[in-house]
Structure 1
Amino acid sequence: MRFIKITVLVLALTLAAGCSVSRSATADGAPLARQVTESDHCGLTAPGLVYISNASELEKLASLPAGNLSVNQLRAIDLEREHLVLVGLGQRPTGGYGLTLESAEIIDDVLELTLNARKPAQDAMVTQALTTPCAIIAITPEDWERLRVSGDGLDTMTREQ
């Protein structure tokens, strides 16, 4: 009897652990996210993220007064198949800052983007100008309900779909 109870407990724990769904690619094998571009001058003076799912939202991004993004490259993306996420570091005092996509994974309906926030070394020679660095990431719009962006040197940001 004790053996049956232990077996049932082990099976229940195994099933509970297996309920956490994790994927790193779409159903057809495409990556969940890919970095499209980055810029030192996106025009966002505060850290944050901008979610772009259609052409009118992309045009709003193009109209940022201090932005220096290559929007033509972004217009080539099929926004029916991929959405865009602009992740900004906010205003920085010099050049040498940036963001790089490290990984993307869907865990329990949350698309987790992990980015690496770079900063210049103490002794690095950098441009002496205010910058607003960002990265633009193309993501799958399917199979997730919440977006979470985090990483070393980056505050965690979330957004509902």
Structure 2
Amino acid sequence: MNPLQGRPATRYVSLLVTAGLLVGCAVNRGETAEGAPLARQLTQSNHCGLAAPGLVYLDSAGQIERLSGLPTRNLPLDTLRAVDFEREHLVLVSLGQKPTGGYGVTLEQSEIRDGTLEVTMTVRQPAADTLVAQVLTTPCAVLAITPEGWDRLKVSGAGMDTLTRER
């Protein structure tokens, strides 16, 4: 005798769980179709020149020159110019102006979920009892991200506001 015979509800629940798992796998992605990461960190700086927290999205090489005019910028633009914009776009993630040294931001992970490229960042800040340089900083990280498979960008991490951008 079939153990599920006479128990159609159990059979349907099993079928629904299996279908849910298959759909979940199809919606979430952790890498491009070619196996490359969805996001990779190119560089970071303590002095990007952006006084407010936010995202700067660059989808062409010509837009890199916009960064050259930032005040107090100490960001290596040659690294950014080497990106193939047919395969990757750039995102500058800024923490905004900070009152001392010791702050920073780095890429932790990325995933495409339901049409949103979700990027998680790790934010570094000095401990309360740490001696730090008394200087204004504008920390940021520059990421190369896939331009495919998403319509919304969401950047978040403990210690920072969630930043979003629609394509």
**Is the shorter-chain TM-score for this pair beyond 0.5, marking a shared fold?**
yes
Provide the rounded CA distance (Å) in 2 between the counterparts of 1:42 and 1:119.
16
Instruction: Give 1:5 deviation, angstroms.
Output: 3.2
Name 1:45's counterpart in structure 2: 51
Instruction: Give 1:28 deviation, angstroms.
Output: 1.1
Counterpart check, 1:8 vs 2:12 = yes
Residues 47-103 of structure 1 deviation map (CA, whole Å, 9 limit, x = unaligned): 011111112221112221232211111111111111111000000000110001110
Name 2:61's counterpart in structure 1: 55
Counterpart check, 1:18 vs 2:22 = yes
Name 1:109's counterpart in structure 2: 115
**Which is further off, 77-86 or 18-27?**
18-27
Name 1:74's counterpart in structure 2: 80
Q: Normalising to structure 1: TM-score of the pair?
A: 0.93
* Paired residue type of 1:139: I
The structure number with the bigger radius of gyration is: 2
**Secondary structure in 2 aligned to 1:77?**
coil
Provide the rounded CA distance (Å) in 2 between the counterparts of 1:16 and 1:124.
48
Unaligned residue ranges in structure 2 (runs of 5+): none
* Paired residue type of 1:113: V
User: Percent of aligned positions with the same letter in both sequences?
Assistant: 57
Residues 21-57 of structure 1 deviation map (CA, whole Å, 9 limit, x = unaligned): 2111111111111110000111110101111111222
Unaligned residue ranges in structure 1 (runs of 5+): none
Q: Normalising to structure 2: TM-score of the pair?
A: 0.90
Name 1:126's counterpart in structure 2: 132
Q: Aligned pairs, how many?
A: 161
